[in-house]
Homo-oligomer: A and B are copies of this chain.
């Protein structure tokens, strides 16, 4: 469909625009070292590319700017991922550097990703639902107060304070914890509320009277939480992008970022591999003039979570794609190792 030369010109225009954020004129292109045609020739080609929808003008006598279709073509055909050794090393080090806890690594990776790209990065943690309860613990602080601590088999820890009903003695508490541990160890978190309600409540009532009130509080505290966690990096980076000189864009972007559920939903749409969503391809209104690039990470082939970068449609696709690729593999590898040790 496109001639060799058109491809080349399209590529040059997009590369140039990604770098400069300025409309690209025919003269500027003709001066590039790898271009040997006159500006007039290029003008003709650009007119054709515009007609086909790959380029746009900001006004009738301006230089050309890539359209969303142009970007789409660019990422699909033109943007061979370009990996930088130093970037790769940075990511590698951050992931390998003591992989003890997923939360740490995710947070750190999100920060590095946003630091080296100047975009905003988001990492979607694995669903906690299929993690299993490892241990339940109650630490009493005083006669009235105690902390329940819940540890999952992947090392995640949740805790919640509660006040001890007067009727419950400390030996009762101990009994209760023992029962719970006995019965609930190994139960997937997602089944916990149900298990608690059916089997356990009955059992407990036999041992301890009137424990329901305080127990409800604990249950609620643990299971109303978001079932999924997001790690952000560089939330304010977009402020340095020229396309965000408009306060209203900033506003709508941030109000969107506050809605974690929506973001999680967006990120979950990726299924294995890297997905680039450009401008209006995005379903969420607030990022209809931004691009979202997502990649997944896996454990034993099963998708665990998503890494994402949000930036202007004028994004360094090549670099970002390669970065996400690297990080995705690093995280998958680390998860695999960690899991193997954990068997």
SS of A interface (majority):
mixed
The answer for the CA separation of A245 and B250 in the assembled complex, in Å, is 11
A155 in contact with B149 given A100-B163, A255-B236, A341-B163 (CB within 8 Å)? no
Residue A151 interfacial (CB < 8 Å): yes
Interface bits A236-264 vs B (CB < 8 Å: 1, else 0): 10011000110100110011001000000
Q: Which of A14-64 contact B (CB under 8 A)?
A: none
Question: Inside 8 A of A160's CB, which chain B residues have their CB?
Answer: 100-101
Query: Nearest B residue to A221 by beta-carbon distance?
Result: B100
Q: Which of B134, B147, B217, B251 contacts A239 (CB 8 A)?
A: B251
Shortest Cβ gap from A310 to chain B (Å): 16
Residue A137 interfacial (CB < 8 Å): yes
A147 in contact with B139 given A163-B341, A239-B251 (CB within 8 Å)? no
Residue A142 interfacial (CB < 8 Å): yes
Query: Nearest B residue to A214 by beta-carbon distance?
Result: B100
Question: Inside 8 A of A254's CB, which chain B residues have their CB?
Answer: 236, 239
The answer to whether B149 touches A98 (Cβ under 8 A) is no
Residue A170 interfacial (CB < 8 Å): no
The answer to whether B217 touches A98 (Cβ under 8 A) is yes
Question: Inside 8 A of A244's CB, which chain B residues have their CB?
Answer: 247
Residue A141 interfacial (CB < 8 Å): yes
The answer to whether B155 touches A145 (Cβ under 8 A) is yes
Residue A154 interfacial (CB < 8 Å): yes
Task: Pick from A100, A135, A143, A153 the residue with the most CB of B within 10 Å.
Answer: A100
Residue A88 interfacial (CB < 8 Å): no
Residue A144 interfacial (CB < 8 Å): yes
Question: Inside 8 A of A250's CB, which chain B residues have their CB?
Answer: 239, 247, 250
Residue A343 interfacial (CB < 8 Å): yes
The answer to whether A100 touches B134 (Cβ under 8 A) is no
Residue A318 interfacial (CB < 8 Å): no
Interface bits A125-144 vs B (CB < 8 Å: 1, else 0): 00000000011010101111
Besides A98-B217, A100-B217, A101-B161, 15 more A-B contacts (Cβ < 8 Å) are A100-B145, A101-B160, A135-B139, A137-B139, A142-B341, A142-B342, A143-B341, A144-B342, A147-B151, A149-B149, A157-B157, A236-B258, A239-B254, A247-B250, A250-B250
List residues of A whose CB falls within 8 A of some B CB: 98, 100-101, 134-135, 137, 139, 141-145, 147, 149, 151, 153-155, 157, 159-163, 217, 236, 239-240, 244-245, 247, 250-251, 254-255, 258, 338, 341-343
Q: List 17 A-B contacts (CB under 8 A).
A: A100-B145, A100-B161, A134-B139, A134-B141, A137-B149, A141-B342, A143-B341, A144-B342, A145-B155, A145-B338, A145-B341, A147-B151, A149-B149, A236-B254, A239-B251, A244-B247, A247-B247
